[in-house]
Structure 1
Amino acid sequence: MHLLVDRNVPLAEGFFGELGEVTRIPGREISAEHVRDKDALIVRSTTRVNADLLEGSRVRFVATCTIGTDHVDLDYLKDKGIGFASAPGSNAESVGDYVLASLMTLAQSEGVPLTERKVGILGAGNVGGRVWQRLAALGVDCLVCDPPRAEREAHNDFVGVDALIEQCDVLCVHTPLVREGNHPTHHLLDATRIDALAPGTWLVSAGRGECVDNDALHQRLIRRGDLRTVLDVWEGEPACDPGLMTKVDIATPHIAGHSLDGKMRGTEMAYQALVTHFGLPARHSVALLQPGPWLREITLDSDTPPLEALSIAIRGCYDIRRDMASFLRYVDYYGTSTGFDRYRSEYPVRREFSTVSVRLEGGEADHSLRTLLEAAGFSVAA
């Protein structure tokens, strides 16, 4: 078997090496010529998988190591009898870490506790649902909008988009990109809704770039400059609006889900689906192949104020400010598109909060301190 695997997929040789020859190419560079003689294709979100790429090839199985599938022509694969798998939920914890790090950074910059904000979550799937779960466990008041789930679940407390805009001072966007049907999400936050955001609203977009009208957001920030904004996803990636980058508070190049742990889970899910498709035994797992984290434990005094302890633990594991500073340096040096892709391909190792244990010493820890740290995703030892 000959497999073509995106260069940004970790542990590929460990998982797929014994199955045959593995060729590695950057995802955005994968072409029809590259896949012509391949039996299987393993990608991430930067590769457009469609007839232009696969027609005339011998590819019989495609997997994307990502939650989203809008970069894959599923109808074409089905029509051609090509097996397919995605990795739903693989990077949900990683995005949850990113969102919490973003919100804590904004809260600290404004000198207000995160628990005093009311958060509206657009989309309660694998990612949004876990963000909701974490914030609620932290004691943050949340409202959630998810029309497809509202239709499926007879008894729920979901609200509409406009109700979120009216009632919340934080919006977190985690919807998939849907262009047709009863609940399209393309420009879900359009010019009208962006204009309706109350001054001082925090907007975090870490789902799909096209769900937020980037031009309308840019114009709002130019005219009024009264929103706090975190954008990890952009319209037209990687050729996104460089002017908008300079206006937002935190700008990153679609790396919210780029923890090593999330990527490794995606690789494992693709591997499991591939061996099942070809009727082969599964011999490998993340547990056997993953490296240990660089930072294993943080020690804090048990008298540390809970929100201060949470901030220290988050910054120790993942300082989102470094991502923004590094990304903007890449853009300044390489240009927008090349800098965007290059930072993603050279992304530094980042581990999830769950890989770090917080040890509390010096006496009996306040119950709220332990609860807060565990709610954020850390393990706690005393």
Structure 2
Amino acid sequence: MVKPKVLATHRLFDPARRILEENCDAEYWEKPERPPREEVLRRLKDKEALICLLTEKVNDELLQAAPKLKITANVAVGFDNIDVAACTKRGVIATNTPGVLDETTADFAWTLLMAVARRLGEGDALARSGNWKGWDLDQLVGTDVWGKTLGIVGFGRIGKAMARRASGFRMKVIYTDAVRAAAEAEQELRAEYRDMHALLAESDFISIHTPLLPETRGLFDAAKFERMKRTAFLVNTSRGPVVEEAALVTALESEKIAGAALDVFEKEPAIHPGLNRRNVVLAPHIASASLETRTKMACMAAENVIAAFEGRRPANILNPEVLKG
């Protein structure tokens, strides 16, 4: 029996490789640097499945270069790198990996929030510099988190996980979303709905958890920063283009907001040089980067591929209409 051919644009974790290799003829990009585009297109010519990361654009160019492709499995919950409509047009299944990274991402959003509030980056740099002179009363004084107001933009699974964590800090939780949560969820999480303008005006910390959609691209622009408190902090672990970095830099330079903590960037891996500031915490897109979670994500992508080859509906299909008929 001839096994279906799969290309993974990353070496993946061993449990995911075992899932693939039991059922497929799997080929991996083993080098630490990202594969060149032309190399991906060349290797896809005879492949029936692609397991990819957010760094690979699955568009008409790629689909045309892969005439045998049946499924593209994204190892991420976001899928703004995939032209789902183009996949559907060509009968290619598209999948992602939702759910398994919610708690880990919420953990890291809280890590960023705490770090920027308490000036951890500055403190770490001082402690390592050899220039620390010892304890002082007003040295690197930051901002309390306990008892403050947390504004959550995007109240899906990760946004709700943020709200659950906020209860331990006795925070007031407010949120905004295109669809208001059920009353039961609001009551359980002690979260109050606000429109965007009210949320911006009330929040001491704003944490973004919205997907990248046409209507959310550039959502946080100069006008939004104008409405925030001067003492407020912005945290983004969603998608970089949700925030206009130039507008954010201007807001920071003019002290319209107190600081920011970012795990994602508008033009990754490039980062606006104006964000290299003492009151900004920067991380290299690692919110879901625990070994347990990233392994689960890779395994989920592999299982989506196997399901497609076995004629089953992948659990995380983005375009189920390709299976009709």
Q: TM-score, normalised by structure 1?
A: 0.67
Structure 1 residue 195: Cα displacement: 2.2
C-alpha distance in 1 between matches for 2:264 and 2:44? 28
User: 2:42 matched to 1:33?
Assistant: yes
User: 2:41 matched to 1:49?
Assistant: no
C-alpha distance in 1 between matches for 2:160 and 2:12? 25
Cα deviations by residue, 1:215-256 (Å, 9 ceiling, x for unpaired): 011112223375221011111112231232346521112111
Residue in 2 that maps onto 1:6: 9
Check the 8 A contact 1:36/1:54 in 2, yes or no. Answer: no
Q: Which amino acid counterpart does residue 4 of structure 1 have in structure 2?
A: L
Check the 8 A contact 1:9/1:44 in 2, yes or no. Answer: no
Residue in 1 that maps onto 2:77: 67
User: 2:308 matched to 1:277?
Assistant: yes
Cα deviations by residue, 1:250-271 (Å, 9 ceiling, x for unpaired): 1112111222222112122212
Check the 8 A contact 2:145/2:169 in 1, yes or no. Answer: no
Give the length in aligned residue pairs: 275
C-alpha distance in 1 between matches for 2:73 and 2:96? 6
Structure 1 residue 92: Cα displacement: 1.5
Residue in 2 that maps onto 1:265: 296
Structure 1 residue 62: Cα displacement: 0.8
Q: Which amino acid counterpart does residue 81 of structure 1 have in structure 2?
A: G
Structure 1 or 2: more helix by fraction: 1
- Name the SS for the 2:266 alignment partner: coil
| Bigger relative contact order, structure 1 or 2 (CA pairs below 8 A, ≥6 apart) | 2
C-alpha distance in 2 between matches for 1:226 and 1:271? 43
Residue in 2 that maps onto 1:163: 198
Structure 1 residue 113: Cα displacement: 3.9
C-alpha distance in 2 between matches for 1:219 and 1:247? 15
Check the 8 A contact 1:120/1:172 in 2, yes or no. Answer: yes
Residue in 1 that maps onto 2:225: 194
Q: Which amino acid counterpart does residue 126 of structure 1 have in structure 2?
A: R
- Name the SS for the 1:189 alignment partner: coil
Structure 1 residue 28: Cα displacement: 5.4
Check the 8 A contact 2:147/2:170 in 1, yes or no. Answer: no
Deviates more, 1:14-23 or 1:227-236: 14-23
Against the structure 1 CA distance between its residues 8 and 131, is the aligned structure 2 distance closer, same or farther, given a 3 Å change threshold? Answer: farther
Check the 8 A contact 1:64/1:270 in 2, yes or no. Answer: yes
Map of 1:1-382 to 2, 5 A cutoff? 1-7=4-10, 9-11=12-14, 12-25=16-29, 27=34, 29-30=36-37, 31-57=40-66, 58-109=68-119, 110-147=141-178, 149-150=179-180, 153=182, 157-179=192-214, 184-224=215-255, 226-246=257-277, 248-279=279-310
C-alpha distance in 1 between matches for 2:117 and 2:250? 24
C-alpha distance in 1 between matches for 2:264 and 2:83? 21
Check the 8 A contact 2:263/2:282 in 1, yes or no. Answer: yes
The percent of aligned pairs where both chains have the same amino acid is 26
C-alpha distance in 2 between matches for 1:219 and 1:107? 20
Check the 8 A contact 2:19/2:302 in 1, yes or no. Answer: yes
5+ long unaligned stretches in structure 1: 282-382
C-alpha distance in 2 between matches for 1:28 and 1:175? 29
5+ long unaligned stretches in structure 2: 120-140, 187-191, 313-325
Q: Which amino acid counterpart does residue 41 of structure 2 have in structure 1?
A: A
Residue in 1 that maps onto 2:317: none
Q: Which amino acid counterpart does residue 5 of structure 1 have in structure 2?
A: A
C-alpha distance in 2 between matches for 1:27 and 1:15? 23
Structure 1 residue 189: Cα displacement: 1.1
Q: Which amino acid counterpart does residue 271 of structure 2 have in structure 1?
A: C
Cα deviations by residue, 1:112-140 (Å, 9 ceiling, x for unpaired): 54222210000011221211222235432
User: 4+ runs of 1 displaced by more than 6 Å?
Assistant: none
Q: Which amino acid counterpart does residue 118 of structure 2 have in structure 1?
A: Q
Residue in 2 that maps onto 1:306: none
Check the 8 A contact 1:118/1:169 in 2, yes or no. Answer: yes
C-alpha distance in 2 between matches for 1:178 and 1:264? 27
Structure 1 residue 86: Cα displacement: 0.8
Q: Which amino acid counterpart does residue 309 of structure 2 have in structure 1?
A: F
Check the 8 A contact 2:44/2:65 in 1, yes or no. Answer: no
C-alpha distance in 2 between matches for 1:228 and 1:78? 42
